Structure 1
Amino acid sequence: MTKSSIVLAVASVTAAGLLGYAIYFDYKRRNDVEFRKKLRKDKKRAEKSAAESRESLAASVSSNELSPEQLREALELVKNEPPPPGAAEKENYFMSQVAMGEQLATRGPEFHLPAALAFYRALRVYPSPLELIAIYDKTVPPPIFKIVMELTNLDVRHPLRPLHKNGIRSQILAPRRLARFECEHARAICSHLYPQRTFIYSRFVLPRSYTLPWFLIHHCMSPLYGVIECLSYAEDLILAYFDYFPPKSMGVAIVTQDSSPQGSRKVLVASKGYQPGDLIYKEQPVATVLDNDLRNQGTYCTHCLRHIEKGMAIPSSPSEPFPSVWCSKDCQLKSRTQYHSLLFTLDPPLPPDVPTPPVSPQELEERRKAQSLFAEYLAKNGNAAPLLAAKFIARQVQNETSKLMASAPSTEIDYPTAEGGDYGLTDHLERLRFLEIVPSAEEMRLLTDVLQHALPGLEQFVTDERHAVLLGKMAYNAFGVCYGGGRDDKPETDKRPEDVEKTRTPYGTAKQIGCGLYVVSAYLAHSCAPNARPSFSNGTAELHLIANKPIKKGDEISVAYVDVTQHEGESAVDARTRRRKEIARGWRFACKCSKCIAESEAAETPTEGDVPETQKDESKVDSVLTNFEEKEGKI
């Protein structure tokens, strides 16, 4: 039996014992005459205590009208009551309070608070609070249960920012698999404390694998305050994200810009001054994709997009369904470790020391078939976003498995990370803007087949909604990689202009050799008169952000998403119309930069075919995360 199996077995037995403990109390209450007599005495004592509470708190007020002050006052009364001294006294106290709560719950809304106080008193002495909350969730009337959870929250919530500053997070973040009942107990807490805590639960629970960080729920027998404090701690980490990302060494920061031409949004600002030609920062991509027409030529590295001299390429195995070449052993190793092995080889998707069941030849053949069909689709479709999304998922898997395995070789994180905490790729991704995209059913099916045959259960990550959002984020945030002035040999497409995939590049998507996702540069806003530009001067996909104009500390940094120059033989009016159409088609907003506004005011009449100024920005951000931040006053 593996160590994880032993842990799960012990946890299950422990929980079963605790449940039996509660059942034993219930049996005694219903069948032991002397026990019932004693409970009746305790019940009278509890009734007297409840009556005092009702008088002092004006319990005639319905539960819907209870103010935080009333709840705090009620909580203080309970906390000031002397606790039962011994185990036997606690047992009797628990049963009497539960019985009192049951009786008061039947008397109408004016008794909701006294009933909740009785249930809460029982909760305070019960040896497994999480388990009892799960029972309450199913048996206690919802209005009363809501008050119990509000009392719980008031009792245990503390400001946790100092813990974050002191680095406590690293001491309590040992992930482990949890039994299903433990996750259900967590769900009961998260869904009733505050709506945003449901987001925290869903953010950390991995579907079907029931894996939670130790800090979220570290034990079924944990004191209740520990669980709730850790949930509060998770909230704190979510809100503190932009305090630690991007790294200060990059010389930029991400802030909320309310006066942005496209409305309130997160933008990149300078943390110090820059002069024209200054390097602002360098950034490696999370994932890259070579243009479709270059994939089979063997002239560019599949990983770093470097140009490869003839005869110098390191090719993938002929048996692999997705032909790839690399410029070096280093790029080959990084590519295979980060995504290539999971998506396009039959190599085990997990580190060798992770126990996995043996794979039959038939299962390997099914995996190869799924990969071949996906590779054929990518070649036929021609867009970069599906492959970029698949590589992103693979990198998430690789990062998380390396965290779980202490003996796994350390993997280099080449993209920018937060300076503090334990933020990962998901934290970066969920804050990016996206476009609403409807992926084809075929694409969804092929990708899930690849993931399922590589690691059963992994396909649960790729629901229709998640995949659509992931594709939308790739489409909105990807940067085109161009060397020099870009290339001129990209084949013409027969797609409609509205359907042509676009990436952010001041040379135009037709000039790129590939694209990449950059988690810091994704916050760069567009301007037709930008104060910075992306450069790939070292011949790889590493993005260098160069200042075009003087930039002061606190200034928003912008780049051109499209070619904003006036072409030979093109009038200024036509140039303006062209660039604005490209912006509207690629990113679905009407550009309102200073240059567009000035040209619009100078024009005597509206330009025919121009993008209307009234067009709304159709890009979106995760609504759950936005609502959570708004409630906490962060945006």
Structure 2
Amino acid sequence: MAGFEVRTSNSKKGKGLFATKKYDKGDIILEEDPLVSCQFAWNAAYRYLACDYCMRPLETPEQNVRRLSCKPDIVLPHANCFDINLENIATCDQCSTLYCGEECKQRALDTYHRSLCYDTTDAQHPIVILLETWKQMHYPPETTSVMLLVRILAFIEQSNDPTAAASVIKQFCHRTVNEDAELVHKLLGEQFTDQLNTLRDMTANVINGEHIQEFLTPEGFCSLMALVGTNGQGIGTSPLAMWVNSVSELTMSDDERQQLDLFIDKLYQYVEQESGIFLNTEGSGLYRLQSACNHSCAPNAESSFPYGNHRIQLKAIDLIMPGDEISISYLDECSLQRSRHSRQKELAQNYLFVCWCERCLAQGSQPDCTSEEEMSDDEIDDED
């Protein structure tokens, strides 16, 4: 029996995820697969090999770090402590899309791929044109992909019950028309109206059908774009990171540990110098339960991807009692440590809400800026 429920949080937050039993620190609250997931367009363009369905990496940690650092002679110590099984890779018979196995190939076919299979060598195919247009509108670091939106439409069209599938997607759409437009403006920039119309026309060229017409209207498409921009959960599945986690569990002397740590630091420096932000096989997914988790600047849970694919795990990082809301942080660890003013500013800019969590309320008397670094950030923004 589930130890949580989705219900109305308050007038400011809407729905939230609430505990119906006690969770101790470290307890797993839930695990779930997304309705659909998708690799980011730029990551795919940089040839990050991943299963098209579950985003499991299709390269070893050594292959991963050699490519990201452009150093083909790197040899990872203790390489046998972590192994990615690449023996069962399957390909689509029509378009040669890669999957980690036959099961993922079939699931993709059943969920969306039957509608979206295409000749990848055809430079004029509507999907190729849509992806290239999207990449020119949405440079890295990516936060979502237009193909996640396309897969949502294919998920509806291919469903045994398209009306029910459309209703599931509509549950994520709970903002006003103006709020949707503001979110898409943030996502696409100043030319968002023209860009949105362009993307809508191109998407309709990729997939169309009687069950998705409402999502291809100007208002419906704007709502769907806002949905993937805010409810799309980032997914990171790095072979290098998984190897680092594995070697950290090995028993070794203090001297060996120190040498290994220095080696790992150097690896990340090489990767950053060559590939910058391109580290993980990243994408985004649409999760039914995870999307109900609201933000808190003092979260009691965190999400991770322990299986190296798109399956998400929500784990308690503090004691959670029955009736407590289960919250996560939408901010990274660095941003979370900054002042209330900086946190509020980032949340307002990227998620269009004012945080009313207990930590923010308790820090309500703080001045608007609390560090020279944050002051300089504000001054830069004011000049733009």
* Fold conserved between structures, TM > 0.5: yes
* Corresponding position of 1:466: 220
What is the aligned partner in structure 1 of residue 51 from structure 2?
A: 301
**Aligned equivalents of 1:376, 1:451: Cα separation in 2:** 17
Matched residue, 2:203? 447
CA distance in 1 between partners of 2:135 and 2:156 (Å): 24
Q: Distance in 2 between matches of 1:481 and 1:279?
A: 18
User: CA contact under 8 A between 1:295 and 1:324: conserved in structure 2?
Assistant: no
Which residue type is aligned with residue 255 of structure 1?
Answer: R
Say which of 332, 341, 352 aligns to 2:114: 341
Contact 2:145–2:284 (CA under 8 A) maintained in structure 1: no
Instruction: Quote the Cα distance in structure 1 between the aligned partners of 2:40 and 2:233.
Output: 12
Deviations 1:486-527 (A, max 9, x none): 79768568xxxxxxxxxxxxxxx9867121110111110101
Counterpart in the other structure of 2:326: 557
TM-superposed deviation, 1:389? 1.1
Contact 2:57–2:281 (CA under 8 A) maintained in structure 1: no
State the AA in 2 paired with 1:476: T
- SS of structure 1 residue aligned to 2:37: strand
Residues of 1 paired with 2:290 and 2:230: CA distance? 12
Residues 344/527 of structure 1: CA separation in 2 closer, same or farther (3 Å cut): same
Partners of 1:522 and 1:458 lie apart in 2 by 22
Q: Is the 8 A contact 1:306 1:541 kept in 2?
A: yes
Q: Does 1:281 align with 2:30?
A: yes
Q: CA deviation at 1:254?
A: 1.6
Give 1:36-55 correspondences, 5 Å limit. Answer: none
- TM-score normalised over the length of structure 2: 0.66
The residue number in structure 2 matching 1:606 is: 368
Query: 1-side partners of 2:343 and 2:56: how far apart?
Result: 29
TM-score when normalising by structure 1: 0.42
Instruction: Please give the alpha-carbon distance, in whole angstroms, between the structure 2 residues aligned to 1:277 and 1:458.
Output: 41
Specify the code of the residue in structure 2 equivalent to 1:377: T
Partner residue, 1:597:
361
Distance, in Å, in 2 between the alignment partners of 1:486 and 1:580 is 30
1:378–1:387 CA contact under 8 A, matched in 2: no
1:559-589 deviations in whole A, cap 9, x for unaligned? 011113469xxxx6x5655443332222111
For residue 59 of structure 2, what is the amino acid of its counterpart?
Answer: E
TM-align CA RMSD: 3.5
Match of 1:393 in 2: 153
For residues 486 and 591 of structure 1, the distance between their equivalents in structure 2, rounded to whole angstroms, comes to 32
Q: Secondary structure at the match of 1:538?
A: coil
Unaligned runs of 5+ in 2: 61-85, 185-192, 243-267, 379-384
| Stretch of structure 1 that moved more, 431-440 or 283-292 | 431-440
Write the deviation string for residues 54-93 of structure 1: whole angstroms up to 9, x where unpaired: xxxxxxxxxxxxxxxxxxxxxxxxxxxxxxxxxxxxxxxx
The one-letter code matched in structure 1 to 2:368 is: P
Return the alpha-carbon distance in structure 2 between the equivalents of residues 510 and 425 of structure 1.
Answer: 34
Task: Tell me, yes or no, if the aligned pair for 1:486 and 1:512 is still in contact at 8 Å.
Answer: no
Q: Which amino acid aligns with 2:148?
A: L
User: Do structure 1's residue 332 and structure 2's residue 105 form an aligned pair?
Assistant: yes
Q: Which residue pairs with 1:535 in the alignment?
A: 304
1:588 aligns to 2:352 (yes or no):
yes
Could you give the per-residue CA deviations for residues 409-445 of structure 1, whole angstroms, max 9, x where no partner exists?
Answer: xxxxxxxxxxxxxx83323322324543255221111
List per-residue Cα deviations over 1:253-288 (Å, max 9, x = no partner): 122223x6xx25111101111111111111110111
Find the aligned partners of 1:254 and 1:583 in 2 and give their Cα distance.
23
Q: Deviations over 1:428-471 (max 9, x none)?
A: 3223245432552211111111224xx58865651111111011
User: Given the alignment, which residue of 429, 432, 438 partners 2:169?
Assistant: 429
Amino acid in structure 2 at the alignment position of 1:465: E
Distance 1:522 1:482 in 2: 17
Does the CA contact (< 8 Å) of 1:563 and 1:579 recur in 2? no
Instruction: Check conservation: 2:131, 2:146, Cα contact below 8 A.
Output: no
- Please give the alpha-carbon distance, in whole angstroms, between the structure 1 residues aligned to 2:212 and 2:170: 19
Q: Over alpha carbons, which structure has the higher Rg?
A: 1
- Matched to 2:111, the amino acid is Q
Q: How does 1:176-195 map to 2 (within 5 A)?
A: none
Higher strand share goes to which structure?
2
More relative contact order, 1 or 2 (CA 8 Å, 6+ apart): 2
C-alpha distance 596-331 of structure 1, shift in aligned 2 (>3 A): same
| Deviation (angstroms), 1:375 | 3.6
CA spacing shift, 1:457–1:449, aligned 2, 3 Å: farther
Deviations 1:371-429 (A, max 9, x none): 33224334444553421111011111111xx349xxxxxxxxxxxxxxxxxx8332332
Q: Is the 8 A contact 1:527 1:591 kept in 2?
A: yes
Q: Which residue of 1 aligns with 2:72?
A: none
Counterpart of 1:371? 127
Q: Is 1:291 matched up with 2:291?
A: no
Match of 1:257 among 1, 4, 9: 9
Contact 1:298 1:324 in 2 (8 A): no
Select the structure that is richer in helix. Answer: 1
CA contact (8 A) 2:196 2:222 kept: no
Q: CA deviation at 1:596?
A: 2.5
Classify the secondary structure of the residue corresponding to 1:426. helix
Match of 1:256, SS state, is strand
Percent identical among aligned pairs is 23
Determine helix, strand or coil for the equivalent of 2:207. Answer: helix
Alpha carbons 1:565, 1:575 under 8 Å: kept = no
Q: How many residues align?
A: 295
Q: Which amino acid aligns with 2:7?
A: V
Cα separation, 2, equivalents of 1:527 and 1:456: 40
SS of 1:427's partner is helix
Alpha-carbon separation, structure 2, partners of 1:595 and 1:458: 42
Identify unmatched segments of 5+ residues in structure 1: 1-248, 347-364, 405-422, 494-508, 613-635
- Separation in structure 2 between the aligned mates of residue 294 and residue 425 of structure 1, nearest angstrom: 29
